[in-house]
Structure 1
Amino acid sequence: MAESGPSKKEFADLINQVLGRNVMNEQVMDRLLQNARESYQRQGIDGIFDLVRQVTQAPFSNKEMKTMMDTILDSSSPGQALDRLGGQEWIPEGKARELKRHLEPDKKKKRDRRKRP
């Protein structure tokens, strides 16, 4: 069975850990996802970009956000995506490394679990 990725709680915890303060929980994540769905239905991908800008105050144009999205989608892993984004200076290199550590801390644990009988 393929892994489906982190749960909403795990993702919210990751966001809080990276930001160093509690700004996200499952209820906030649900509202954010609902707003994203509605924005996409009304305006397509530009609606999503508008929502991201509103939530993050990111100073990027829709064209820049589309390029970032393509960079992430073309990556083979979250770590590679962060390396690429850091290389483009969209995310400060130090923040990209920090995010990568939070996203890929269990690789060794997963390998160890597979080796057990």
Structure 2
Amino acid sequence: MTDQKPTKKDFVDLINSVMGREVMNEDQLSRFLEEAKKVKDTKGTEGLLEYVQRVTNAPTSKDQLRRMADHIQKTGSVGSALDFLKNEKLLSDSQAQQLQNAIQKTAKKKRKK
């Protein structure tokens, strides 16, 4: 069986599952990604980090976002990204567990298809 990349629908389902309600649809995600690419192309990484902070209201510093992105690139692991968020006190243990459960649930749905 070939590994399939997650679709936009998979990401939307994950986001909505984590939030406990519908906060995003595929069109909104597409617009977010298109705008993020434009910002990255015109303003570089710093501009992209500012954009992510502004749009998501993430309670993080640009430095934390940068370190998290570096960490994810180095490890390629969702689990280690969750550990990073917990270590930075951006997620509680229970929030990280909820997120992990939502990721696993989404992955199971994907495998059944």
TM-score normalised by the shorter chain: which range applies? 0.7 to 0.9
- The 2-side partners of 1:76 and 1:33 are apart by 20
Query: Which amino acid is 2:70 matched to?
Result: D
Is residue 57 of structure 2 the alignment partner of residue 47 of structure 1?
Answer: no
Q: Answer yes or no: is the 8 Å Cα contact 2:60–2:90 preserved in 1.
A: no
Q: 1:103 matched to which residue of 2?
A: 103
State whether residues 71 and 81 of structure 1, in contact with CA within 8 Å, keep that contact through their aligned partners in structure 2: yes
Counterpart AA for 1:102: A
Calculate the TM-score normalised by the size of structure 2: 0.82
Q: Counterpart of 2:17?
A: 17
Provide the aligned length of Structure 1 versus Structure 2: 110
For the pair 1:71 / 2:79, whether they are aligned, the reply is: no
* Percent of paired sites with the same residue: 36
Q: Which is bigger in relative contact order (C-alpha 8 A, separation at least 6)?
A: 2
TM-score normalised over the length of structure 1: 0.79
- CA shift, 1:51, in A, is 1.4
Q: In the superposition, relative to structure 1, how do residues 100 and 3 fare at CA in structure 2: closer, same or farther (>3 Å)?
A: same
Question: Which structure features the higher share of helix residues?
Answer: 2
Shift of 1:94: 1.3
Relative to structure 1, the CA distance from residue 66 to residue 45 in structure 2 (aligned partners, 3 Å threshold; closer, same or farther) is: same
Q: Partner of 2:75: helix, strand, or coil?
A: coil
CA distance in 1, matches of 2:13, 2:81: 20
Structure-2 separation of matches of 1:59 and 1:87: 14
Deviation of the 1:9 alpha carbon: 0.7
- Aligned residues: CA RMSD: 2.3
Which residue in 2 is equivalent to 1:5? 5
Question: Is contact 1:72–1:81 with CA below 8 Å preserved after alignment?
Answer: yes
Determine if contact 1:39/1:48 at 8 Å carries over to the other structure: yes
Aligned to 2:62: 62
What is the CA distance between 1:53 and its match in structure 2? 0.8
Unaligned residue ranges in structure 2 (runs of 5+) = none
